[in-house]
Structure 1
């Protein structure tokens, strides 16, 4: 089976958090200038595009991105579709089969337009954290910039997931992905002291059912 790229492309059009550092890239030195190679550079927030949050992002005592086990971000994952819901709550999740997976990727934004920072999202509610822990899930991936409402200052869902041992991927591209079971690779960079990191997220379909009731 082919790998499917579920990463937002990084370019000058990509949406970013208001007031945060936008993505930019270009050639710092050309081959003509160096006599041998082109050398590029880039500038961006660690929370622009497809990325992993480290607990340190929302907790001063939380682990930084370089301290997280890379195996969190590699392995079987299930894609479910909650695009018809207004929130990712315990009740919404209980409509789906969550047994037999440790990583859950949730589709809500259809279509997904990475060049537009959304005005509203389908947020995760804090009551989802205990359910995911009960099911043995330790990684959640969403296709929007945050698991909390965009105007949240308390970051209740970030904290609820963290308290239940659940790590976070944000800004995945899932709108054209079928529900079902996949192999996931979404490795963050080992940024020392980082509160997050961009990831290149890819999935590959696994055999068997679609993981839905």
Structure 2
């Protein structure tokens, strides 16, 4: 069997969330007992908890909800690029070593040596120009191991606006700690949430 890398963080009551987002909460509606044969829970959470796909609706008032998005960008060949400790923004010089004529249409960038277990207000984001240049090379989806492709304190979301204009899809909050640089098959399908601005994904990489 081909090797799989699980690149999704664990989701639980203590999972970090963007300040102001709804954290993961779970309660039991039914538990196994005499007269009840099953456990049934109810969960409440922001769709941006854990590994997730943003929908255009997240950054565009007229944008599509996540359940409307074609699945093709979330499934197929991708390249993992390391830019560990690169600073506030991933610039072109941080990823140029891994960009060539055979670049797959999906690019995931690792910035952490080890994914944090608490909220990181100093997270690394993409420089807008980096996204534009990847789009010029045919990239359909970008991913990152931080909570956002924009700085945590950004009010203009410049990188999100680039993906809006260029029609790219995005994955955030991935865990790439154990993934070597190289090419893989990405599988990270969002749920068919018909009115939501994002969806959790169970993101995995499979050896080619």
Could you tell me the TM-score, scaled by structure 2's length?
A: 0.94
**Alignment partners' CA distance in 1, 2:35 and 2:50:** 31
Runs of 4+ in 1 over 6 A off after TM superposition: none
Q: Deviations over 1:85-126 (max 9, x none)?
A: 22212333323224330000100011102x311121111111
Partner of 2:154: 152
Native 8 Å contact 1:106 1:143 kept in 2: yes
Native 8 Å contact 2:85 2:112 kept in 1: no
Which segment drifts farther, 15-24 or 34-43? 34-43
Partner of 2:121: 119
Residues 178-189 of structure 1 aligned to structure 2 (within 5 Å): 178-189=180-191
**Alignment partners' CA distance in 1, 2:184 and 2:159:** 25
**Alignment partners' CA distance in 2, 1:88 and 1:34:** 57
Native 8 Å contact 1:7 1:202 kept in 2: yes
**Alignment partners' CA distance in 2, 1:5 and 1:16:** 20
Is 2:139 the partner of 1:162? no
Cα offset, 1:34, TM superposition: 5.2
**Alignment partners' CA distance in 2, 1:200 and 1:99:** 29
Q: Deviations over 1:67-101 (max 9, x none)?
A: 11011101111001011422212333323224330
Gaps of 5+ in 2: none
Corresponding residue pairs, total: 205
**Alignment partners' CA distance in 2, 1:102 and 1:133:** 9
Native 8 Å contact 1:98 1:135 kept in 2: no
Gaps of 5+ in 1: 207-213
Residues 1-213 of structure 1 aligned to structure 2 (within 5 Å): 1-32=2-33, 35-86=36-87, 87-100=89-102, 101-113=104-116, 115-206=117-208
RMSD value over aligned CA atoms?
1.4
**Alignment partners' CA distance in 2, 1:199 and 1:51:** 5
Cα offset, 1:33, TM superposition: 6.5
**Alignment partners' CA distance in 2, 1:14 and 1:99:** 39
Q: Relative to structure 1, is the Cα distance of residues 34 and 43 closer, same or farther in structure 2, using a 3 angstrom cutoff?
A: farther
Native 8 Å contact 2:144 2:171 kept in 1: yes
Could you tell me the TM-score, scaled by structure 1's length?
A: 0.92
